Every structure is written in structure tokens, then in C-alpha cells.
Amino acid sequence: MGNYKRISERKPMTEAILREARELIDNGVSVRQAAKAVGFHEATLRKRLKEGRGSENLGRFRAVFSHAQENEIVQHCKNLDKRFYGLTLKSLRFLLYSYAERNHIRHPFKPGNQLAGRDFTRGLIRRNRLSLRTPRKTSIARTMGFNRIQLAQYFDNLENVLQKYKFLPNRIYNVDESGFQMVPNKLPKHVAPTGKKDVAKAVAAEQGQTVTAVCCMNATGHHVPPYFLFARRWTYWLRYGRY
């Protein structure tokens, strides 16, 4: 069922549609015309009128979670992402299984590995405008400092300094640094014999050093030439003033 694509436009006759059909019949419209107005066959409308209730499902299959339950799970995933602790695909599969078990919901998940199906989980992700993304590593200190109070305090201080000293744009510089590994963290795939257990690729070093690059530019576009800080060389320069 993972690659199933729906080709039919059929839909269930819900309580709202059945209520609309009843109002048309009460106003003097025939059952056939009322069924045509709501977009269903006459026999379907007569069946629902006889049973006295609508249906939320189409056919013998039913959804595992209701709309409210699914929205609760999706909101939980979004809240974890905002707190920088997003769920992996396997963690989400375990969450779905645990949610169904603890709420005594009938489900088709296998109890052996205690995980929801992979296709079921990917379908839930697609339905609710979620996606699997590669996260960027962020330290705990940065996550704690990135909040509304800290940002408001920073911009208030910046505004006070600019109003007090009247800095021109060519006097306002921004400096930032970034670390780079001497060896690539992720290697591209290459052709190797089928069945080979260990596939390797030669690099300069297995554990590369981190080189810091510093860039500086002002508000008018003037920049200081970037420079690199190599391990242990910067400490030597501070001590002796030369390399």
C-alpha cells in the first residue's frame, strides 16, 4: 500500500452533507434531486436516511487516529522542533505506536519491534505538511541565548549606542568566524564491487583539524581581508609576536 495512488473521487457522506440533504428534502426537493445537489447517488442518500446517520469513512478501512489525535501528534512534533529536539523517523514511529497503545486505539502496527509502519509514518508526514530535514548542529548555549528577551535587550542596546555616538555606516563593522574541517565530513558515493563489506576512500587524515576563518565587513561594503587561524599557531603568535 506504500505506492498506492488514489484514482477515485469518491468521498463519504458525512453528517454535514446528510444534514444539508435533509434540509433540501424538508423544503420540498425530491430525494433524487437532493442527492444530485449534494453530489451523491440516490441509493446512497436513501441508505443514509434509513440508517439515520452519516459516515466518516469510505469502505471497510478506517483511520487509525482521529483528526484531533493526529493534530495532537503533529503539534507535539512541531513543539519539539522549536525546542531543538526534533524527532527522527524511527523516534516518530515509536511515538505513534506508544500513543496508540496507551490510548487503547486499534492499530495495524506489529508489536514485535514496537514501531509504526514506515509507509504509515511517511503518509502522516505528507498529510500534515511536515518533512524530514537535515538539522544543523547547535550548541546548548546558543539555544539558551536565542530567545525573545535576549534579542530585545541586544537591539535596545544597539539603538542606544547608535543614538548616542551617531556612528556612520562606514564605521559599523560586523565580525564573524566559522570553523572548517581539513578533511571532508561527508564523502560522495563511489563505485565499488557488490557485496564488499568495507568500502573506504583515502583522505588527508581520518581526524582532521579545525581551521577558523574570520571575516569582517562594514555597512558600506568595505571589508578587511579574511584570515585563517590554525591550531597552535595562533597561541605561538600571541606569545612571541611572530611565526
- Largest Cα separation within the chain, whole Å, is 100
Q: CA–CA separation, 49 vs 19, rounded Å? A: 10
Quote the distance between the C-alpha of residue 41 and its chain's center.
Answer: 41
Mean pLDDT, residues 138-151 = 79
**Segment among 42-46, 167-171, 207-211 with least mean pLDDT:** 207-211
Cell 442527492 found at? 35
**Is 2 part of any domain?**
no
Angle at 242 between CA 236 and CA 243, to 5 degrees: 65
Domain that holds residue 141: 65-166
Q: What is the pLDDT, as a whole number, of residue 7? A: 72
> How many C-beta atoms surround the C-beta of residue 211 within 10 A?
15
Angle at 121 between CA 83 and CA 137, to 5 degrees: 30
**Is 14 part of any domain?**
yes
Q: Which three cell numbers stand for residue 122?
A: 511517511
Mean pLDDT, residues 22-29 = 91
Q: How confident is the model at residue 69 (pLDDT cuts 50, 70, 90)?
A: very high
Mean pLDDT, residues 218-234 = 81
The CATH number linked to 22 is 1.10.10
DSSP 3-state of 71: helix
Q: CA–CA separation, 96 vs 116, rounded Å? A: 6
Q: What is the mean pLDDT of the chain?
A: 82
Q: Write the pLDDT tens digit of every residue in 118-137.
A: 999 999 999 898 988 888 77
Q: How confident is the model at residue 232 (pLDDT cuts 50, 70, 90)?
A: low
Express as a percent the part of the chain with pLDDT over 70. 81
Q: What is the pLDDT, as a whole number, of residue 151? A: 86
Q: Is 32 found in the same domain as 77?
A: no
Count up the domains in the chain and report the number: 3
Q: Is 120 found in the same domain as 80?
A: yes
pTM above 0.95, yes or no: no
Q: Is 134 found in the same domain as 83?
A: yes
Between the CA of residue 98 and those of 108, 120, 125, 226, what are the distances in Å? 13, 15, 17, 52
Question: Residue 140 forms beta bridges with which residues?
Answer: none
DSSP 3-state of 240: helix
**Is 154 part of any domain?**
yes
**Segment among 31-40, 158-167, 193-202, 233-242 with least mean pLDDT:** 233-242
